[in-house]
Amino acid sequence: MYKLFGVLIASFLFTGVLAVPFINFLYKIKFRYKLARSRKVQGTTLSQLHKDKAGTPTGGGILIVIASFLFASLFYAITQFSLNWTAGILFLTMFLFAVLGLFDDARKMIRVKGRRIRPLPAFSKLALQVFASLVIAYLLYENLGINSVTIPMLGSVFNIGPIYLGWWFIPFAAFVIISSSNAFNITDGLDGLATGLLLIALAAYWALSGGTNDITLFIAVIMGALLAFLYFNIFPARLFMGDTGSLALGAMLAVLAIMTGHVLVLPIIGGVFVIELLSSFIQMFSKKYLHKRVFTIAPIHFHFQANGWDETKVTMRFWLLGAVLAFIGLFVATFGL
């Protein structure tokens, strides 16, 4: 176990060394956050809340993915660890969703004849997520032989074994991956919020992964890179994650949950991500069918900020909620073991 802490520290230092020149590079190519026009709600717009963030580099996800890939390649090259399907699927997940996020980020930043290209249409973005998720789900089913889910707590109380899904596992896993990816993407709206919550969730799955293996090794590498990124992402942020990181890391969290056999506690361990996603759905449903707003601005972290909470207050309290939910998830997952 202590060797994995060394991996985490080494990954942190490796990413930290790359961070400053990478941020300077983003400034040079003008890959920076731009405020979108937003409708005024009760005298407040999202642009007004975040006017100080304009111009901040927004390619942190690129840094996390590249640093993780480079460090992992170096680690596998100089140690006795060897690449296998577990590691391959995890890195493929990050790569596929990072490419999708980068394509969307680039469309928002790059200008053609003085005009910004519109973001990727929602339907097209979802279709690409579905395709990538089905590929990953198929590999989990075919190459790792994962085709069942275990009911936490109730399974121990009533002696219920794993539920075998057969081929139905593939659409189930794809749904979990898509949901987690989008939930993390929606949560990534305040400085440090999503990154801190992900570190908490990863720590919980590290505890559930059981010993030293490719899953814990991967978690250690990613956590080290995230800690280095968080240094620059804490309020006031010098670097944003962007869709490149949020889509990739959200999908990665889902795959880790599936691999550890504790996917059904993911809605608890990642409970804040679920709340964020639901708040957006509730807002869209209410606006479309009830013609009124439930939240001042959705997702819910913007609601609190629009109603007078300082950004750091929202972030810290959501981190606290995330930690409590992670402990509850660990209790549920390990009950009866």
Which of 74-78, 110-114, 130-134 is predicted least confidently? 110-114
> Which pLDDT band, with edges at 50, 70 and 90, does 56 fall under?
confident
- Looking at residue 248, its pLDDT comes to 96
pLDDT, tens only, 205-218:
999 987 768 899 99
d(CA 159, CA 300): 38
> Which pLDDT band, with edges at 50, 70 and 90, does 160 fall under?
confident
- Looking at residue 164, its pLDDT comes to 94
91-108 average pLDDT score: 91
263-288 average pLDDT score: 96
Beta bridge partners of 148: 164
Conformation bin of residue 192: beta by default, left when phi > 0, alpha when psi is -120 to 50: left
pLDDT tops 80 at residue 337: no
> Which pLDDT band, with edges at 50, 70 and 90, does 304 fall under?
very high
Mean pLDDT score of the chain, rounded to an integer? 89
pLDDT tops 60 at residue 35: no
- Looking at residue 28, its pLDDT comes to 87
User: Would you give the end-to-end CA distance of the chain in angstroms?
Assistant: 21
pLDDT tops 70 at residue 196: yes
Which of 176-180, 224-228, 288-292, 318-322 is predicted least confidently? 288-292
- Mean pLDDT is highest, among 67-71, 113-117, 196-200, for 196-200
- Looking at residue 40, its pLDDT comes to 47
- Looking at residue 43, its pLDDT comes to 45
pLDDT tops 50 at residue 117: yes
> Which pLDDT band, with edges at 50, 70 and 90, does 67 fall under?
very high
> Which pLDDT band, with edges at 50, 70 and 90, does 41 fall under?
very low
What is this structure's pTM?
0.93
pLDDT tops 70 at residue 42: no
- Give the residue, 73 or 202, on which the prediction is more confident: 202
